[in-house]
A and B are shown apart, each in its own frame.
Chain A
Amino acid sequence: MTNGYHIVVCGSIVPDPLQTLEPLPTPSGPALKNEMMLPAILDPWAAHALYEAADLAARVAGSKVWLVSVGPKAKLQQVMMTIAQRVSFEFVPVDSSASGFADAHATAVVLAETIQHISGLDGSRLLVFGGWESASRGAGATMQLVGERLSILDQFQGVDKLNVQADGSFEVLERIEGGRHQVSTCLGPPVLLGWATGDLPEPRNNPQVGMANMRTVMPALQRAKSVPLPAAGLHYLSASPPKQQRQTRVVKDLTPEQIAHEIAEWIGK
């Protein structure tokens, strides 16, 4: 691969996992209470996809990374303050709902159309990255729908490793049952990869990268089109947090031996 890859990462935002989430009914379906007030982060698996994309782009000369994010403009701006300091990318925001209750089909239409309109994108060098599931809807369906809309037949989900071989082909490791990986080889782009955690650490914040990214992030946010997400025949009958609260027995006065006996008995039941 001499010309490099065009890597488009699809990644939205989710509420910080430490926040308490409370669903509320609205005329258009469920929503989160105080959703716009909740601190947000880049979706964790999508963040791994972005770090892998940046790492690959850094290793293959001529490559470029775009980050396509669907979410409320104000929240995207907040999250970019952090993410933009980690790796280099061109930001392509879409001002819309990032709710987990939005339909994957509707989100996929917006993502695919946005990717198709990226200026200068070369489909023969295209790698579409994303998280294999979001931490909001958690469907593991959006990326496949995007891939179908882009006519990409080589799709991989739960990816932990992408190796570029000497002949330009890819070796891909996908998670399967039992803590194992399926190993595949693919001739090359275009491909779509839904990433699991990969094997890269979170990059450190680099203010210089942040400065460079923010020159394009802010104008992109200002230009971001507002797009409604239709329900497309999806109806919610209810949305509620789990009710189960356990009555925890806190045991402080047993010796390790007594505890071991109790656990062994419990395991054996």
Chain B
Amino acid sequence: MAQSILFLAHVSEAGGTLPKAAHEVLGAALKLKEQTGSRLTIGLIGENVEPAAETIAGCSAERILGVTGPDVATARYASDAAAAEALCRAAAADLILAPATSRFMRVLAGVAHRLNGCVDTHVTSLDVVNVELCATRWYYRQRIEGVIRRDGRPWIVLLESGCSAAWAGVAARATIEKIPVTLPEAARRTVVTGIRAPKSDAQTIRPDAGLLFVAGAGWTKKQADGKPHVDQAETLILDFLRASGASLGGSKSLVDQSGESQAVLRFMTHLNQVGQTGSTPRHPKGLSTCCHGEEPHVVGWRFINERRAVNLDPNCGWARGKADVLYVADAFEVMAKLNALLLEKSHPKLEPAAQLA
């Protein structure tokens, strides 16, 4: 059972705040603190952590530690590992909870090794069972759910976003203990030079969207007239994304086409791929189109609560208990009508009386 918990977080790219996922992990850490009577320490990494620290200083943490400065302004393995290691040693915690952000996913396994501890990632819940702390996570790409416990300490646990209620207390004045970290020259061989968005007409991946829209390879296949209509497919999909604010996903067969010199949707990249070898996004709803719903793709839908699909095949995978509703229809026709409806809703026609006025 944990005697001391370290909540570890880094400031967001913009600085000044913590990522949303960090607030969720803080919520989980506070819940665990209550259950086990443990002490809670906060550890923050960033060029300047004070504004972020103030947003969470109202929680009942005993200490707030920080590693700050230009060396940890960007997400670089060598400096982040040194910073996280220093915070963990200063906190001397048995359990270290952190959000599964790309920055921490890169670095915390290495930190566990340095601390002679252990690490588990993609954890979806932490529970106390028979006075033992247990973590739940998925194996084989969301096909088997396992519950584990570990003897080793410190135990670093990276929690997935969307699995815990975010802490939402009031801001307070923060007293931060600065932990000094001196980087060797060998830790400065890498320099982060910037962020690059994928080549696309618009940003199509929106992690906070309420809807995931998945396009399958059917969009680029021959249609009823014997010809593919890729340009029309692109227009329909992009119009829908604009009107609905949905995040775009793709099946493997569709995103692979770009490497096979076939007709492709130009905005679709491997980053959009959902499924066994792609991402497992978290959205309340998901709408699949022109996709057969085979198991390797649908494992990427594990965390999509409400699922609907549009497909011409009534016996596709979606019909076999993988979607709530399967519409057997031509997605080109349905999406054209749907876009018109959404456009109408966002720009409602004026009532006759209003027109007169």
Q: Which residues of A contact B (CB under 8 A)?
A: 14-15, 17-18, 21, 23, 30, 44-45, 100-101, 104-105, 108, 135-142, 144-145, 147-149, 153-158, 160, 171, 173-188, 196-197, 199-202, 232-242, 245-252, 254, 256-257, 259-264, 266-268
Q: Which of A15, A108, A179, A184 contacts B76 (CB 8 A)?
A: A184
Q: Are B144 and A141 in contact (CB under 8 A)?
A: no
Count chain A CB atoms within 10 A of each CB in B110, B211, B256, B319 and give the residue with the most. B110
Q: How many pairs of residues, A versus B, come closer than 8 Å at their CB atoms?
A: 277
Q: How far, in whole Å, are A168 and B341 apart by their CA atoms in the complex?
A: 55
Q: List 19 A-B contacts (CB under 8 A).
A: A17-B141, A17-B295, A138-B122, A139-B121, A140-B121, A141-B109, A144-B106, A145-B112, A155-B106, A156-B106, A181-B198, A182-B194, A184-B76, A233-B150, A234-B118, A242-B142, A242-B302, A264-B342, A268-B345
Given that A179-B197, A239-B139, A239-B146 are known contacts, is A251 also in contact with B327, CB under 8 Å in the complex? yes
Residue among B187, B296, B308 making CB contact with A17, cutoff 8 Å = B296
Across-interface contacts of A158 in B (CB, < 8 A): 102, 106
A180-B326 contact given A18-B296, A156-B77, CB 8 Å threshold: no
**Do A248 and B329 contact each other (CB < 8 Å), given the known contacts A100-B139, A259-B334?**
no
Q: B193 contacts A185, CB within 8 Å?
A: yes
Q: Are A237 and B148 in contact (CB under 8 A)?
A: yes
> In the bound complex, how far is the Cα of B288 from the Cα of A263, in angstroms?
11
Among B141, B191, B277, B318, the residue within 8 A (CB) of A185 is B191
Q: Which residues of B contact A254 (CB under 8 A)?
A: 327, 329
With beta carbons under 8 angstroms apart, the residue of A153, A239, A246 that contacts B189 is: A153
With beta carbons under 8 angstroms apart, the residue of A142, A156, A238 that contacts B147 is A238
Among A175, A197, A242, the one with the most B-chain Cβ atoms within 10 Å of its Cβ is A197
Please state if A233 and B134 are interface contacts (CB–CB under 8 Å): no
Interface magnitude class on chain B:
35 or more
> How far, in whole Å, are A247 and B76 apart by their CA atoms in the complex?
46
Interface class of chain B by DSSP: mixed
- Residue contact A241 to B345, C-beta cutoff 8 Å: no
Contact B285 A178 (CB under 8 A): no
A-contact bits for B108-120, CB 8 A (1 contact / 0 none):
1110111000111
Q: Which among A15, A256, A268 has the greatest number of chain B C-beta atoms within 10 A?
A: A256
The answer to whether A175 and B277 touch across the interface, beta carbons within 8 angstroms, is: no
Asked if B272 is at the interface (CB within 8 A of a chain A CB), the reply is yes
Asked if residues B322 and A248 are in contact (CB atoms below 8 Å), the reply is: yes
Known: A45-B277, A136-B140. A101 touches B146 (CB 8 A): yes
What 4 pairs between A and B have smallest CB-CB spacing?
A179-B205, A233-B151, A260-B337, A201-B259
